[in-house]
Chain A
Amino acid sequence: MKEHTLETPHKRRSTRVKQRWNMQRNWTLHMMLVPAVLLALVFQYIPMGGIVIAFQDFKPYLGFSESTWVGWDNFRYLFLYPDVGQVIWNTLVIAFFKIIAGLFAPFLFAILLNEVRLTAFKRVSQTLVYLPHFLSWVILGGILLDILSPQGGMVNQLVVAFGGEPIFFLGDGTWFRITLILSDVWKEFGFGTIVFLASLSGINPALYEAAEVDGANRFKQTLHITIPALMPITIVLMTLSIGNILNAGFDQVFNLYNPLVYDKGDIIDTFVYRLGILNGKMSFATAVGLFKSVVATILIVISYRMAYKLANYRVF
């Protein structure tokens, strides 16, 4: 008891001191966050407030307060506007094939690269295939316009050399979609292998040794050790890509498309840009963008939860 009374004031004082000390210290921490909070408020949260114009007939000269409110009209219009259905469909098709190709190509490349025993070869190969990832679609678009040109572009020279007719890659809807998917693979498959290679390097070599002793050849080892080892990360990537199903790649499409392929190549983002910035239909464009944003956010949240449940993967 005596001990207790002796100790309490001391303890209390020490916690109080600690608290004040913490407050003073944390004050600096709060201050450090001020610039970021301001930036996020101004450039992220205020535009979120700006989505009210999706419910208005917004006229820039009238401003937010004077423009007339139209309720859900813009969204009703969204489902009546003739092009919207096609645009959403284009987005889904292009994004779907990009996701599949963008998973499969790095997967395969990583497995093949894993069989390479010459370190120098491996390193040079990686250096070359990672490079396009760092170039922008403006640069790559400029290059593609040149090499895919039907008037003697390098690729069409090759097509003609093999006895084919020159293909108008960027002027024909179906070829345009194929070009989008292949050129996306060109840009991203190398970079995509990094995560697979990381998983491959984590495989316990004892597994291979045991398989070797049991008489399994390399193909069987790949089938029963390597591929199963890559499954968890593949499942995670696949799940997370659900959130991207409405992102068909604005930069790429915008730098490659032209009015000839609007019917099969126009995606939500490019549609919103043309409608809102070029044609000045700001309210309708915002409504379309908001529709996309809401669906995408829901999908991202679902996909992250799924990735957590399926593979115990956490981003944060």
Chain B
Amino acid sequence: MYYKTKGYRIFSIANYTFLGILSILCILPIIHILAVSFSSMAPASSNLVTFWPIGFTTDAYVKTFGNSNFINSLIVSLKRTVIATIIGMVIMLITAFPLSKEDISFKGRSLYTWFFVFTILFSGGLIPSYILIQKLGLMNTIWALILPGALSVWNVILMMNFFRGLPKELEEAAYLDGAGHIKTLILVYVPLSLPAIATLSLFTMVYQWNSWFDGMIYMSDIKNYPLASLLQTIIVQQDLSKINVDPSMLENISQRTVRAAQIFIGALPILMVYPFLQRFFVKGIVIGAVKE
């Protein structure tokens, strides 16, 4: 066999080493940030910390959670993630179900499909959307963050393909037993698609948690910023002018360890759902991509 030859063994060792180093390299920056966040101020600001905290302290986290802006944003983010995921999933299901029917049994199906698909291909762009949110009076409300993205056409397509993969006989049996469309969806389709729904909700949650741009442009008051937008402002832009805290607090926020702690807290929910995500997503993607 090829893997018993000497040449292949040498390649194999080199390959394992390379892949091992590469994989660790991918998360090394995250470990570094984690180490900095748990280090005391002096070693962190003189760049002595690498991958293990020096002078272990949770000071940075205490300071972070002592900042009322941060707590506010955390709540906004949690609220938006939960509401948007629930609404998004309901809309996805009730949209994917009719679209998964055959053209013959549901006239108008392809018209609807093109109506939705066109929005993937072409969009009005940033400025008209911004004016729209303004005109609708949604500025500074959480709905500005939820409604524009409540319909994800990509999710609908994935779900639609999943529904189409379910045996036709189940649907026919449900209809013969006198169930209407809504009953069939809730009692037959949804229970059978739970893994797919779980995958898509996790993806939606990650997407919602990570969204920062909408919060930044649609919210003028820092109190309404979701966490991602707040982090964008204070860590990436390093613009502390929007935060109204006393000067001593300001110094705290700009410390390297506190910045690291904030970054890590921002990433934490993703790290927490990641194991579940990983279990599902390969399967989920394959399920959605394969037709017939």
Contacts and interface: CB of A to CB of B under 8 A. Distances in A.
A35 B126 contact: no
B113 interface: yes
Given A35-B91, A116-B15, A138-B212, A255 B127 contact: no
Interface string B15-27: 1101110111011
B282 A26 contact: no
Contact of B26 (A121, A147, A190): A190
Given A43-B132, A129-B23, A138-B231, A272 B126 contact: yes
B212 A282 contact: no
A189 to B, nearest CB: 9
Interface string A281-305: 0100110011011100100110000
Contacts of B157: 315-316
Chain B binding site: helix, strand, loop or mixed by DSSP? helix
Contacts, number: 254
Given A35-B94, A46-B132, A128-B27, A277 B126 contact: yes
A47 B125 contact: yes
22 contacts: A32-B182, A32-B185, A33-B98, A36-B116, A42-B147, A43-B129, A45-B119, A50-B129, A60-B131, A112-B18, A116-B16, A129-B23, A129-B26, A134-B270, A136-B211, A146-B33, A146-B256, A194-B282, A198-B286, A217-B8, A221-B2, A282-B127
B125 A289 contact: yes
B197 interface: no
B38 interface: no
A218 B128 contact: no
A144 B236 CA distance: 10
Contacts of A127: 278
Interface in A8-40: 22, 25-26, 28-30, 32-33, 35-37, 39-40
Interface of A: 22, 25-26, 28-30, 32-33, 35-37, 39-40, 42-51, 53, 60, 109, 112-113, 115-117, 121, 124-132, 134-136, 138-139, 141-147, 151-154, 157, 186, 190, 194, 198, 212, 217-218, 221, 250-251, 254-255, 269, 272-273, 276-277, 282, 285-286, 289-290, 292-294, 297, 300-301, 314-316
Interface string B270-283: 11001001100110
A36 B91 CA distance: 7
A210 to B, nearest CB: 13
B181 interface: yes
Contact of A218 (B2, B20, B156): B2
B217 to A, nearest CB: 6
Given A43-B129, A190-B26, A255-B232, 12 more contacts: A39-B151, A50-B131, A131-B274, A134-B206, A135-B210, A142-B263, A218-B11, A276-B126, A286-B125, A289-B127, A294-B122, A297-B122
A125 B20 contact: yes
B235 interface: yes
Contacts of B259: 142, 146
Contacts of A186: 26
Contact of B2 (A152, A217, A292): A217
Given A128-B23, A134-B270, A138-B212, A47 B128 contact: yes
B245 interface: no
A176 to B, nearest CB: 15
A32 B124 contact: no
Nearest to B230: A138
B119 A112 contact: no
Contacts of A147: 29, 32
Contacts of A316: 113, 117, 157
B126 A285 contact: yes
Interface in B124-158: 124-132, 134, 136, 147-148, 150-151, 153, 156-157
Contacts of A130: 278
Contacts of B127: 50, 53, 272, 276-277, 282, 285-286, 289
Kindly name the residue among B24, B46, B236, B285 whose own CB sees the greatest number of chain A CB atoms within 10 A: B236
A292 to B, nearest CB: 8
B225 to A, nearest CB: 12
Interface string B100-111: 010001111000
B277 A134 contact: yes
